[in-house]
Structure 1
Amino acid sequence: MNKILAIIPARGGSKRLPRKNVLDLHGKPLIAWSIEAALRSRYISKTVVTSDDEEILDIAKRYKADTIERPDELASDSATTFEAIKHAIETSDESYKYIILLQATSPLRDEKHIDEAIELLNVKNADAIVSVCEMEHSPLWSNTLDDDLSMKGFLKEEVLNKRSQDLEKYYRLNGAIYIANVKKFLENGSFFLKENIYAYVMEKSDSIDIDTQADFDFANYLLSVRKG
């Protein structure tokens, strides 16, 4: 496999769940779960945490990740993930063929998922891999509502009276793994390339994306059940 750089972006600020990246999740800071998973991967060459926050950077060093101090202009609410990743690539003292984005908010994604996604990249000779999971509810059972809350025409005729198991499966992004060829990523400004991109399918139970206290509590419960 070609050299792969794992990037874990983690800002200090978070509105819905303050300081979530450093909160203790089943015995270790939230961000540590992603760092350890990346370091245990058989294929990742280097793991770097990019952050504007001193506490996050200190935790990253304690868990043996490399660190990049993100400039203030890349730590604002208006700064994009692409800009932070581009800065991490340009700051690195080595060149890599692939990057893998591992968001700290996906603590149930482990090294097995990472390695399987990278192996899929190799098997497909792909330029990008993005993780997904099956949707909890079919979007065919959803629609918009007018101000008067009328449900006239809410469901299409072909969906009426169908059981959920008879509906076509839909998948959603789960935010756990994004892999791309570095050159193609920089050219496109996104992991979502127009071609030669494939999905890595994960279980819903491994796809928790922590945004709220309820998400955090559920992840903590799942980890306590799995790890005792």
Structure 2
Amino acid sequence: MIAIIPARGGSKGLPGKNIKELAGYPLIYYTIKAAKEANSIDRIIVSTDDKKIADIASNFGAEIPFLRPEELAADHSKAIDNYIYTVDRLNQTRTIAIDEFIVLQPTSPLRTSKDIDNAIELFYKMKAETVISVVKAEHPPTWYKKISPDGILIDYYTSVDNSQNRQEEEVTFLPNGAIFVFNFNALKKNCGYYNSKTYPYVMPQENSVDIDTPIDFQLAELLLKSKRNELI
């Protein structure tokens, strides 16, 4: 299967995060490494608008057959539009059409090659249109609150039973941003991530850090260094 790693140059939350050094390597290195070690990946494409990112990714063994257009690299640009553009353009240069692909965001450096292979195996086993990696939510959504215009703390959900113990709450999951496996034709048709053939690939918390802030970055570095120490 083909892997697409989206890595645009702009980032307001953490400028330059896709190539910011993390535990000795640029952030994007960890995703390229995991994809290279996955048995089910035969081609790794980095989609970027940034020449510096392209050069670094190329040095680690990824392909950058073309740079992403500016209109697909802005803050308001939809990720799905870029995935469709990338696969359409790749299909123009291939004798065999790309029917499915996996998206691996570089902001999930703790996702492993085993996670990638397992998610793709699930995709084929279930004849899925989409497989999305998720992590068990730390807190039930019924705990969420909001502040009213007059400053009062109120329930976010209007019908909440506050008498329930935590153990009685239904288990819920959150997408962790690490893995998206798509059927290309279904993605073009639906222009969305979720449908009746979307299946979850559940990942542990320690592999699910999604870097968006400096604190996320520090946590990922701590976990990476801890894993290295376990191997010594």
Fold conserved (TM > 0.5)? yes
State the number of aligned residues.
224
Q: Does 1:61 align with 2:83?
A: no
- Residue pair 1:179, 1:191 contacting (<8 A) in 2 also: no
Q: Does 1:144 align with 2:146?
A: yes
Q: 1:162 to 1:156 in 2, by over 3 A?
A: farther
Q: 1:152 to 1:124 in 2, by over 3 A?
A: closer
SS at match of 2:147: coil
Partner of 1:80: 78
Range with greater deviation from structure 2 (131-140 or 67-76): 67-76
RMSD, matched Cα: 1.8
Partner of 1:213: 214
For 2:168, give the aligned amino acid. D
Matching of residues 1-228 of structure 1 within 5 Å = 4-67=1-64, 68-92=66-90, 93-94=93-94, 95-151=97-153, 159-192=161-194, 194-228=195-229
SS at match of 1:106: coil
> Deviation digits for residues 133-191 of structure 1, max 9, x if unmatched?
11111111113321223346678786324332221111111111111111111111223
Q: 1:191 to 1:154 in 2, by over 3 A?
A: closer
Deviation at 1:32, TM superposition (A): 0.9
For 1:69, give the aligned amino acid. L
SS at match of 1:165: helix
Deviation at 1:45, TM superposition (A): 2.2
Distance in 1 between residues matched to 2:143 and 2:185, nearest whole Å: 40
Task: Work out the percentage of aligned pairs sharing the same amino acid.
Answer: 37
Q: 1:90 to 1:163 in 2, by over 3 A?
A: same
- Residue pair 2:146, 2:155 contacting (<8 A) in 1 also: no
Which consecutive residues of structure 1, in runs of 5 or more, have no partner in the other structure?
none
- Residue pair 2:144, 2:155 contacting (<8 A) in 1 also: no
Distance in 2 between residues matched to 1:65 and 1:71, nearest whole Å: 19
Distance in 2 between residues matched to 1:137 and 1:72, nearest whole Å: 39
SS at match of 1:130: strand
Distance in 2 between residues matched to 1:216 and 1:137, nearest whole Å: 22
- Residue pair 2:142, 2:160 contacting (<8 A) in 1 also: no
For 1:186, give the aligned amino acid. K
Range with greater deviation from structure 2 (124-133 or 144-153): 144-153
Distance in 2 between residues matched to 1:153 and 1:62, nearest whole Å: 51
For 2:228, give the aligned amino acid. K
SS at match of 2:146: coil
